[in-house]
Structure 1
């Protein structure tokens, strides 16, 4: 199952993008309102789709009032809908957000089917070992998401947690802060991702959330999808759902939740191009560290008493060269003597 908070944010991103540009609904014609997990989102999307035929000339600025009147849901006011529109990451990326909604809906359907099969197969054991193992596995499968989770009307639009002034600044004094600056620049200026990813390998980043965020950024970019906080956070969760709630070490004795960490990266003021410059420094530092480690290991072996150098198993090409005899000296051509002409003497 997908994390409920991410599902709500993906649904709100779809609605917010459609409120800002109703024509974007053409890009997600396959997404029907019943695929929304929250009933409020189903009603709002239904009203948006119907408004295209019933009120096609309604200006975008008046669309929130129209949808609020048609839905008539407590809490769904024009101001609430405007907040959803303002919180939409990128209206042009509505197709990517719709894909997330569709994916989570398919997962819910599968979980519901598994729950029904598990209930029907509870306590049954048969002669077929394959079916028997399947029934046992279904007992341990995650149950479908409870309806109560989505029963509250009008969920609040997503907003990043407020931070004290100056806390979002990144300094380049430590290794982790350099990594955060690179991730922040790539997240905010994704046009640099293809260039940086060709030579910056993930192992340069600290093992854990930072490396996972970088890998997620690269994966989203390789799929030609928009890179923003929601798409990257969705991909991070798909990589390791169990580690989603793990906190991120920011500085010494300072940690923050994974969603807050991504929100800070998305809001951090960073110079365009910092990813290219700082990643070069990270690569150089990583290479120096590896060379120092290898040299220390070789030095320890050399100083160990009784240590003998390992046999060199490298295969070397040996070419047998036959002795070459020197070419015979060239003798000069024989000198031809000119014939002597004797005078004829007649008696």
Structure 2
């Protein structure tokens, strides 16, 4: 987990303009550590966080030192600083630059030691926000990484890890009214460089599906929304509609269906559509999987960016983060199901085999009472 730089008691004046101001959680961490340094017994009230919950390496080291040392007797702790010296010595093993003056600063920053559990809840909430942000960033980056040998599997693994985190967070933070976060505004991104490649794959899908319409019925895992160009999406709807009506499928019938659905606009001339539907190569299944993969990765990238945008709003509560993130993952989960259907082998038919009728018995002499009765001598 990335943390901010360690607190520096004497920063250079030239660097003051580049140091961001501390966020509220920084003061919550100071107050919590100050409470524990003043009254170490308060550690019993802080059970849900660990050193990784703190935003700076110094704070994490101090908390780890406090937790690793035996709790001193309150009366003895009030009379000497032996336990504080032990905390300082232990924390210095993990981070450099820590001194006794900063421990005194932590103590001074604590308004009330009895509020330690409240400070801990603040630290835990911000840690949840940072952790969720890291997972969301990882999902978005994975979905656009061209070097991955198995991008879909990697992206789905990141999505599964994110879902597991949301399950853990939902158990730790209580629900409350107004659980939906505010809709974030996403910054625009540059158009992907593979736009022309996607267009070519969609054209090949439409042409091969027209040439092999029997395979279209087996591709219910592909929807028109997976195609990037509106004209291509409309033509795919035409193809699937004809196929499910068991109507004839060829370039002319698809063109007629396109006209009925209002697809013949100024940019879609009939001759162009006929040409598009007759230039196929490969199989619809192959091109359909390619298109579905591209749609899944695009959705994963968008999902990661949306969840990251939720974490950027400091007014969003942890439970709102959970609710909003789950909604953002819904579309990706639906695509994952369709992806598994597309890549799984077709299961054998579930119908029981037809019973095979045995050959009728060969005809024999009729059985009569005379035939079975004893012949008198």
Class of the TM-score when normalised by the shorter of the 2 chains: 0.3 to 0.5
The structure whose residues are more often helix, as a share, is 2
Scaled by the length of structure 2, the TM-score of the pair is 0.34
Q: Looking at both structures, which has the greater relative contact order when contacts are Cα pairs under 8 Å and sequence separation is at least 6? A: 2
